[in-house]
Structure 1
Amino acid sequence: MESHMLVTRKPDPTPTASSTSPSPHRPEFPFVTLLVSGGHNMAVLTRGMGDHIILGSTLDDSVGECFDKVARLLDIHDVPGGPVLEKLASEGNPRACLRELAKPLAKTRDLELKNGCDFSFAGLKTSMRHLIEGGKYSKPDMAASFQKRCVDHLVERAGRAIDWALEIDGSIKDLVVAGGVAANKSVRSNMQELAKEKGLMLYCPPTRLCTDNGTMVAWNAIEHLKEGLYERAPCTAESAEKFVEVRPRWPLGPRDERCRGRDNAEGGRKARKRPQPEEPSEEQLREIKRVAAEVRIS
């Protein structure tokens, strides 16, 4: 998740349409992140590497998951289906059947949820299924109306998250939108309008990097390495057993007390500069060389 956010800070060697040289601009801490992908949907205040506060999260499906499920309902068999649904939506009228699609969290009696930063897409997915089964509208119109409902919900919640973040830290100047769904043109254009309204600069990864996990994880490692936020690998097999910590879900950080979405960390681990261990002894170096030789032989 952090890698999605930080890849926007990676220098882009690809010139923009209005320039022949790479852009030197990148988001500076602190900034607000809207993370939109198939696995996550979060609004986050990012104050530094490993220093995040979750302002809002999804109560059920993520927006990317919802896009893919609705794509299948529309007989789109590509994986992922979201990009094809976006293309289909570009051929339709976004207001054709908008009134028949549930507005997320609009009817909840829970005022904290209604006025919070959490997301919900399960109800919209269900109403979309009923709309498709009704057969009254064309697929492009249904896709366009569905996409508009999703984007409007993201804009509403992201706007509130920006307000909450500015209450915590008034020095915020940037909005980052990252994750696979950040490649969606409607998401980008609407977030650009929101950022302008809030007086922020918008940063999105280049489209090709929105789903490139290898690049984003590598860049995250570079950022941590430059700040000294790492540990040297152990020199012996015995110490290696104590060095590796395997966790299937790593908490991004603590959540704001108003956030009620799922999969949020109660604690989280703040990155910190670690004292570097002593250089390996001669005995340890001999052991390393011996193991390396065995690996080459095998």
Structure 2
Amino acid sequence: MDGEAGVRAGPHIAALDIHEPDPVVQLPGQWLCLAVGESRGLAARTIRGSRGWRGRSAWWNRGPATSTRSEGEETSAAAVRKQTAAAQAAAPKKVTSGPLLDFDLTPGAGKTVGTGQPVSLEFKKPVKNKAAVEKALSVTASNATEGSWGWVTTTAGLDRLDWRPKDPWKPDTEVTVKGTLTTIDPGGAHFDRDLDRTFTIGRDQQLIADLDTHRLTVKQNGKQVKSVPMSGGEPVEGRASRPGTFAIKSREEKVHMTSASVGGPKSYDLTVNWGMRFSDSGGYLHQAIDDAQQYVGNTNHSADASA
């Protein structure tokens, strides 16, 4: 995964050059493990679970308007009306004061994603009352899945709330995200929509990039299906690819990369194909360009190419 909750990742690009013409990732949220030496196995980060909640609603049957009621029935009906009015009066009212606080939720409704996919809400403005927002949200799965919320700050300085499973999702799991956001005060602002979204977990696909042997292994449902040579990038001296466990965040047909974007001299300015982003700070898995072929399978090094 892409860092501990609440920690801002430093600027760097960890580009992996793959000697393979076709992309090896089909679903966002699949696991990518950058391994060194004895750390080659996938190890999911342990997170303490959080408690979800589920609301209850009351209902009753009312008789036809022409029915005849006894005095006792009338008294009972009056009591029901009184209880209903009290319940409505006690129901939380929508918060409309303050500026609108909008957000984006990933993954989208009805999407099929990988077993490493987190639930992410990225807010357009700072969230002052984070506890209230977190309390209003729930994540439920079609099987027993333990997980936890955690706040992070993106490289753009935005607040993002992630829910991550303690262990990888099980394939074919249906996940539902709900939130009664319109009735809470996130801190001098308001929401104009609640949440009720469901998505599905697809097959278990893991990519294990070994930075020592310079090989990328692809596993589907625990079985190896492919192994290709690779090179771990080092766009600026001392900023080589970081070991760790990540989830693929997005797929991009073409990605513009420069060494200057990570604070280095302009040693390269190029566009690569089949980029698969695994971090907010510039980490990509991508097809190797022609100038990088000499490093694929033997050395962790970024190509020297300029526009």
Larger proportion of strand = 2
Fold match, TM over 0.5? no
Find the structure with the greater CA-based Rg: 2
Which gives a bigger RCO, structure 1 or 2 (Cα 8 Å, sep 6+)? 2
Q: TM-score range by the shorter chain?
A: under 0.3
The normalised TM-score by structure 1 is 0.25
